[in-house]
Amino acid sequence: MAWLRLIDFNLSTVDLTPSMPLFWETGTHQVVPIQAVQLRAGQLILIPKSGVTPLTLNQLNARTRQLSGPTQLYVQTPDNVQPLFGYRLHQARLLLG
């Protein structure tokens, strides 16, 4: 499996509703809102947090506009940083996993 790169994510989501909220789908299929993004050592890390309003696709695009396309996407878990492999649409939400 290939890790999700920013350019691939942007190209595949260009026609989606900009106000679509972003969530991380855990390995146990829990859904947690994406609260923020950080750039660390060339990695774009999505920060999930329960109980917050999720970032929208438009907000993510605005915050990552200046980044290089090959930048790989990761998610911050309670234990470490894990690569993201893709996403799916479910009930008007974008679930990254």
Q: What is the pLDDT of residue 74?
A: 98
Prediction pTM value: 0.93
Question: Average pLDDT of the chain?
Answer: 95
Q: Which amino acid type is present at position 36?
A: A
Which residues 6+ apart lie within 8 Å of 40 measured at CB? 81
Q: How far apart are CA 34 and CA 37, in angstroms?
A: 8
Task: pLDDT band for 1, please (50, 70, 90 cuts).
Answer: low
CA-based torsion, 17, 88, 66, 82: positive or negative: positive
